[in-house]
Amino acid sequence: MNYPRSYIILHHTGAEEKDAQQVRKNHLSRGWRDVGYNYIIERDGTVVKGRSLELPGAHCAASGMNHKSVGIALIGNFEVRSPTEQQIKALISLLKKLKKELNFPEKNILPHKNVPGAKTLCPGKNFPFSRLLESLKGTERLWKVQCGAFSSRKKAEEFAEKLKKMGISCFVVEP
């Protein structure tokens, strides 16, 4: 079944997990079929694909958002600290990509706590939502360049680091 996505809901994990795999294990231990988020952004800016968009999410039940939104979580508790700069840059890149691919208006990008009916502080008081919106202004068209497929995550991350050192915004996406 296809679930049309008309919103993006932004989250923090609310904990200090090591990586996306630990978040996935935590969600699976609850009896869920997969991690609840569609994307998880690790501290170093690595973007990891989560639950398929072919399935309803498990990240925001308020207003029926699990069935009509993309859930993006950054690892960390942003009530006590801020996201890393790498996380913010990766999130901005991912939002621009999704905005173009799925045709989201900026007004439909919401922090979890702003969803009608949500009773949460997520994604935390230190989450820079206004900065994100400012970064998305004027995004008319994005062009996607894919460079390389790698036999290991380590090699992909090493290549991504080289690109970042050259000032090229990039992230590693798990297949």
Give the total number of structural domains in the chain: 1
**In which domain, by residue range, is 80 found?**
7-142
CATH number of domain containing 21: 3.40.80.10
Cβ proximity of 110 and 8 under 8 Å: yes
Whole-angstrom CA distances from 86 to 11, 41, 72, 90 are: 16, 9, 15, 6
Whole-angstrom CA distances from 28 to 24, 34, 58, 75 are: 6, 6, 11, 17
Region 139-154: mean pLDDT is 74
Cβ proximity of 36 and 50 under 8 Å: yes
Region 113-129: mean pLDDT is 96
pTM of the model: 0.77
Is 164 among the domain residues?
Answer: no
Could you read off the pLDDT of 5-57 as tens digits, one per residue?
889 999 999 998 899 999 999 999 999 889 999 999 999 999 999 999 888 89
Task: Look up residue 77 and give its two tokens.
Answer: 């508790």
